[in-house]
A and B are shown apart, each in its own frame.
Chain A
Amino acid sequence: MASVTFDHVFKKYGDVTAVNDLNIHIEDKEFLVLVGPSGCGKTTALRCLAGLEEISGGEVRIGERVVNDVAPKDRDIAMVFQSYALYPHLSVYDNMAFGLKLRKTPKEEIKRRVSEAADTLGIQDFLQRKPRQLSGGQRQRVALGRAIVREPKVFLFDEPLSNLDAKLRVQMRSEISKLHQRLQTTFIYVTHDQTEAMTMATRIAVINKGVLQQLDTPQNLYDRPNNLFVAGFIGSPAMNFFRGKLRKDGDKLLVDTGDFSVVIPPSKSKVYENHAGKDVIFGIRPENIHDADFVPANIDSEKVNVKVDVTELMGNEIFLYLMSGSNNFVARVDPRSKLRVGQQATVAFDMDNFHIFDAGTEQAIR
C-alpha cells in the first residue's frame, strides 16, 4: 500500500518523446486509469513506474521513496501484462508461487496464499496445468493470481483485458473492480477502452502524445473536459463539434456557426462575454440533442433545422445522423421519435449542457 508520484517524468527514445513532463500524484488505495489513443505513451509510463524502462528525466516515487535507480524486483510492485507473460515451463501453481519462492516465503504460507488466490479467481482446478493448456480467460486469471499472491504495494495492469472476448471482458472488469475493493491497494490500470476507464476508475488520466491532458474523476472528465481532445475522447458516440464565432447581438450572446446560431442562456453568458468576437468550437454531446417533439421539460433549448441523413435504431434509443449546412453530427434521441431518413426536421440543443473551446488553443473556456 503506497501512493505513487510521477514528478516531471520524461521518457525519450532518440527523437521520440514517449512521455512528456508527466505529473501525477496517485493516492494510496486509488484506482487510477491511464487512457489515451494508441501510441500515446501509456505503456511507457507504466513501464517507467515498474522500472522496466529507465526514465530520461524527472522523478518517480513510490510512497516517499524515490525509485529512479531501484531495480524492478525491489520496487514491490506487481504487473499484469497484456500478453499475460506466464512462464510457459511452469505449472499454474508454480507460476503463482514463483515470486514468493524468490522471497523465501515459507512453504505453507505460499500454499495458503496461492490456494486463496486460486479460490478468488476460480482457477483451483487448473493448478497443476501448464499455461498452454488454458484458455485466454483462464490465463488472464492466472496472471492476476500471480500478481495478488505477492501482496505488493502497487498493482500495474497493461491492457489486461484486450485479448478477451466482449462478454468475458465485462465479467473480468467487474472482478478486477471487486479485487480492488477487497485488497485496498493502489491500482494503476492502462487501457484505451474508455468504457473500462469510466467503469473502474476512481480517477482517470487522459494522455495524448505523451502529454497528460486531464486528471480527474470519470464524472468530471465527462461533464467538464478541459480541452477539445478530452471532450472528443471521452464519451461514445463522441461529442459533436461545430466551428463558429461568439457574437454579441443586442444583449444576447450567441454562437454563430454560419449555418445556424444558438443563443447562450443569460445564466451562462457571463463566462463567455469577454470572449465575444472570438473563433470558437462549440461542443455538445449526442444525448443533449433532442427531437423537437420530445424535449424534456425544464431545459433551456435552442431549435436547429436539420436534414436527417441516417437513422440507427438501438431499441432503447435512436441515433440520428444529421446535417445542417456543412455540419454533420449525431443525436441520441428518444425512441419514440418519428424522424425518418431524408426528412427536414427541427432538433433541440440542450443549452444547459454544452461546451465552448477556444479555436486556437483548443482549451475549454470557462
Chain B
Amino acid sequence: MAVPQNTPETAAHIKRIKKSSAAPTPQIMKQGALTPWLYLLPALLVMSFFIVYPMINTIGLSFQNRDGTASAATTCVEGQSCWGIFENYHYAITAEFNTSSLQAFWKSFWSSSYGNTIKWIVVMVFGTVAFGLGFATLADRVKYEALAKAIIFMPMAISFVGAGVIWKFVYDYGTQQSQIGLLNAIITTFGGKPVAWLSTIPINTFMIVLVGIWIWSGFCMTILAAALKSVPDEILEAARVDGATEWTVFWKIMVPIILPTITVVVTTMVINVLKLFDLVYVMTGGNFQTDVIANRMYTEMYKNFNVGRGTAVAVVLVLTIIPFIYLNIKRFMEQEAAR
C-alpha cells in the first residue's frame, strides 16, 4: 500500500480500513488516524521552527567559544582547571564561587545568581501563595468581592519593566536636598534616616522580591479563589457545627481540599521565578549582589557578548526548570484522570 498522503480522501480511506478490522467504534469517534495530525501540523511546524530548532542550536552553541567559531575547549586558560568542551559550563556553574574555604564558598554561594535565585524562589513563592490564599479567603467574605479582587489583580496588568520603574521610584534613595523616593520620604517624615534600598546588601534582593510578590499575588489569588469557591458551603458548615473555629475550618478543611491546586500554583510560581529576569534587569541590572540566573544569561549574552557562556547558562536554567514542569504536568494528568 502506498504511503497515505495528507488529504481528506486518504483519511476517509483509512477510516474504511479501520472500520473493517477494529471492534465497532461509535461513528462520532471515527476520525481516522491522519485527521488529527492534519490539524496539528501548522502548530507543529511553527513550534519546531521557533522552539525546537533554537533549542538545539542553543545547546550546540553552549559547547563553542564566545562567537561560535571554535570549540569551547579552546578557551581554557593555561594553568587553570579545564572541563574541555564543557568549559562554558565550568564557567557557568563555578565562576561565581570562591572555593578557597568552605566558609568562603558558603558566602559566595549566597551572593551568587544561584543563591539569589533560591532566595527568590523561597520568599516569592511563599509570599505570593500566602498572600494569594489570604486574599482569596478574605475576598470571599466581603461585599464588593469582584472589586476587591480586581484591585489585587491589577498589578498583573502592568508590564514587569513598568512595575520595576514604578518601584524604583518608590525605593529611590534621593539626595541630601530632595527626596523623591516614597518609602524614604515616609521614613524621613517620621524622623528616620533614608535607606538605599536597592544597593544595601542583603536587603536589596528582598526589596525586589517584594515587587515580584506585589505583581504575582493577584494571579495566585485568582486561581486559589476559584478552587476555594468549588468547596461546597455545606462542608464548611458541617465543620462549623462539628465544633471548628474559622481558623480550623481554613486549615483542616479548606486547605487540604484545595491542596492539589495549591501544588499547581506553587510549581507554576517556581517556574515563573526561575525565568524571572525583567525586574532585576530594570531595578539593579544584577548589581549589588542581586543577580539571578536569568539575568546572568542576559548579561553574558548581550553585555559581554559571550555567546558560548550565555547559552551555557541558558541550558543550566532550562535543566533546572524541567523537573518543575514535569511535576506540574504530572499533577495535571492526575487531576484529569481523577475526573
Report A's interface with B, CB cutoff 8 A. Answer: 50-52, 71-73, 75, 77-79, 81-83, 85-89, 98-99, 102-103, 146, 150
* From B232, B242, B252, B256, residue with most partner A Cβ within 10 Å: B242
Is A98 a contact of B239 with CB atoms below 8 Å? yes
A77 CA to B243 CA, complexed, in Å = 9
- Residues of the A chain whose Cβ atoms lie less than 8 Å from the Cβ of B243: 73, 99, 102-103, 150
Chain A contacts of B257 at CB under 8 A? 87-89
A77 to B238, CA, bound (A): 11
Residue pair A79, B235 in contact (C-beta under 8 Å)? no
Q: For chain B, what secondary structure do more than half of its interface residues adopt (helix, strand, loop), or is it mixed? A: helix
Q: Do the beta carbons of B240 and A52 come within 8 Å of each other?
A: yes
Question: Nearest CB to that of B259 among chain A residues?
Answer: A89
Q: Are A85 and B232 in contact (CB under 8 A)?
A: yes
B244: interface (CB < 8 Å) = yes
Known: A88-B257, A89-B257, A102-B248. A83 touches B241 (CB 8 A): no
> Does the CB pair B237–A85 fall under 8 Å?
yes
Q: Which residue of B lies closest to A99 (CB)?
A: B242
Q: Residue of A at shortest CB range from B249?
A: A73
Note all chain B residues with C-beta closer than 8 A to A81.
234, 237-238
Q: Is B80 an interface residue (CB 8 A)?
A: no
With beta carbons under 8 angstroms apart, the residue of A51, A82, A88, A146 that contacts B242 is: A146
Q: Closest CB-CB distance, A74 to chain B, in whole Å?
A: 8
Size class of the B contact interface (CB-based, 8 Å): 10 to 19
Digit string of B245-265 for contact with A (CB within 8 Å is 1, else 0)?
100100011001101000000
Asked if A89 contacts B234 (CB within 8 A), the reply is no
Provide a sorted-by-A list of 15 A–B residue pairs whose CB atoms are within 8 angstroms: A50-B237, A72-B240, A73-B243, A78-B242, A79-B238, A81-B237, A81-B238, A85-B237, A87-B235, A87-B238, A89-B256, A98-B252, A99-B242, A102-B248, A150-B243
User: Which listed residue, B235, B244, B245, B256, touches A85 by the CB 8 Å rule?
Assistant: B235
Question: What's the Cα separation between A8 and B234 when bound, in Å?
Answer: 27
- Cβ contacts B58-77/A at 8 Å (1 or 0 each): 00000000000000000000
How far apart sit A131 and B243, CA to CA, in the bound complex (Å)? 20
Q: Do B235 and A52 touch (CB < 8 A)?
A: no
Given the known interface contacts A102-B244, A102-B248, the answer about A87 and B239 at a Cβ–Cβ threshold of 8 Å is yes
Task: List the B residue with the shortest CB-CB distance to A47.
Answer: B237
Residue pair B244, A87 in contact (C-beta under 8 Å): no
Contact: A102 with B238, CB < 8 Å?
no
Residue of A nearest to B234 (CB): A85
Q: Knowing A87-B253, A88-B257, A89-B256 are in contact, say whether A73-B244 is a contact too (CB < 8 A).
A: yes
Which of the residues B235, B240, B252 comes within 8 Å of A73, measured between beta carbons?
B240
Of listed A51, A88, A146, residue having the most chain B CB within 10 A: A88
Contact B241 A77 (CB under 8 A): yes
Closest 5 CB pairs of A and B: A99-B242, A85-B234, A85-B238, A102-B243, A72-B240
Give complex CA distance A244, B214 in Å: 76
Give, as a whole number of angstroms, the nearest-CB distance from A141 to chain B.
15
Give A118 Cβ to nearest chain B Cβ, in Å.
Answer: 17
Distance in angstroms between the alpha carbons of A183 and B79 in the assembled complex: 89
Q: How far is the CB of A49 from the nearest CB of chain B, in Å?
A: 11
A86 to B256 Cα, complex, angstroms: 14
Q: Choose from A50, A87, A103 the contact partner of B241 (Cβ within 8 Å).
A: A50
Are A78 and B241 within 8 A (Cβ)? Answer: yes
A83 and B240 form a contact (CB under 8 A): no
Q: Which residues of A contact B235 (CB under 8 A)?
A: 85-88
Complex-state Cα separation, A253 to B259, whole angstroms: 75
In contact, A79 and B241 (Cβ under 8 angstroms): yes
A-chain residues with CB within 8 Å of residue B240 when the two chains form the complex = 51-52, 71-73
User: Which A residues lie within 8 Å of B256 (CB)?
Assistant: 89
Q: Which of A52, A82, A85 is the most central at the interface, judged by chain B CB atoms within 10 Å of its CB?
A: A85
Q: Which B residues are in CB contact (< 8 Å) with A98?
A: 239, 242, 244, 252
**A73 and B238 contact, Cβ closer than 8 Å, known pairs A85-B232, A87-B253, A102-B248:** no
CA separation between A81 and B241, bound complex, in Å?
11
Shortest distance between the CB of A111 and any CB in chain B (Å): 18
Complex-state Cα separation, A273 to B234, whole angstroms? 54
CA of A245 to CA of B127, assembled, Å: 78
Q: How distant is the Cα of A79 from the Cα of B242 in the complex, in angstroms?
A: 8
Expressed in whole angstroms, the Cα–Cα distance for A52 and B249 within the complex equals 14
- With CB as the reference atom, state the residue of chain B lying closest to A156: B241
Task: Please name all residues of chain A whose beta carbon is closer than 8 Å to the beta carbon of B252 when the two chains form the complex.
Answer: 98
| A88 vs B253: C-alpha distance when bound (angstroms) | 9
A102-B237 contact given A88-B257, A89-B257, CB 8 Å threshold: no
Question: In the complex the two chains form, is B241's CB within 8 Å of A73's CB?
Answer: yes
Tell whether A102 pairs with B241 under 8 Å between CB atoms, given A81-B234, A85-B232. Answer: no
Q: How far apart are the CA atoms of A326 and B117 in the complex, in Å? A: 87
- Nearest residue in B to A102 (C-beta to C-beta)? B243
